[in-house]
Structure 1
Amino acid sequence: MGEAIGRQRFGVFIRIDGVPAAVGLAEVGSVPHGMELPVMGAVVAGTVVWHADHNHQVKIKLDEWDRPE
């Protein structure tokens, strides 16, 4: 799980719980069909599909998210 911390046309950046040095990216193509990208502050859950140890980049396929209250 994590939190959406940045949003661009190409995807959303995610702070990953328990891994402060890593930044996740969920690209538009990894969002379930018919759903909008999560908004800033949304709690998200997904599957890691790729990562690079040397620069702590992580690509994520989103499964679900909630709107912040």
Structure 2
Amino acid sequence: MGRRPFGVFLLLDGVPNAVGLAEITAMPHPMELPALGATVVGEVIWHADHNLQVKIRLDEWHLPG
């Protein structure tokens, strides 16, 4: 997972070649961006089959451990 000013890139379970992006505009307020290594839960709101891009609306996240 990686953090950028426009959102958070995610690793998706079971889809190793997919590029997951949780946009900050779709985050619940007043939540902060998840920390690196956090486990997140969300809903797929858009995807592109040709390049395996997935846009996700985050619902919650948990720190590792």
TM range (shorter): over 0.9
1:1-69 aligned within 5 A: 5-69=1-65
Q: Deviation per CA, 1:11-65: give whole Å up to 9, x if none.
A: 1000000111111101111111100010111000100000000000000000010
- Pairwise CA distance, 1:66: 0.5
The structure richer in strand per residue is 1
The count of residues paired between Structure 1 and Structure 2 equals: 65
The share of aligned pairs that are identical, in percent, is 65
- Which aligned runs of 4 or more in structure 1 are off by greater than 3 angstroms? none
Where structure 2 has 5 or more consecutive residues not aligned to the other structure, the ranges are: none
Where structure 1 has 5 or more consecutive residues not aligned to the other structure, the ranges are: none
TM-score by length of 2: 0.95
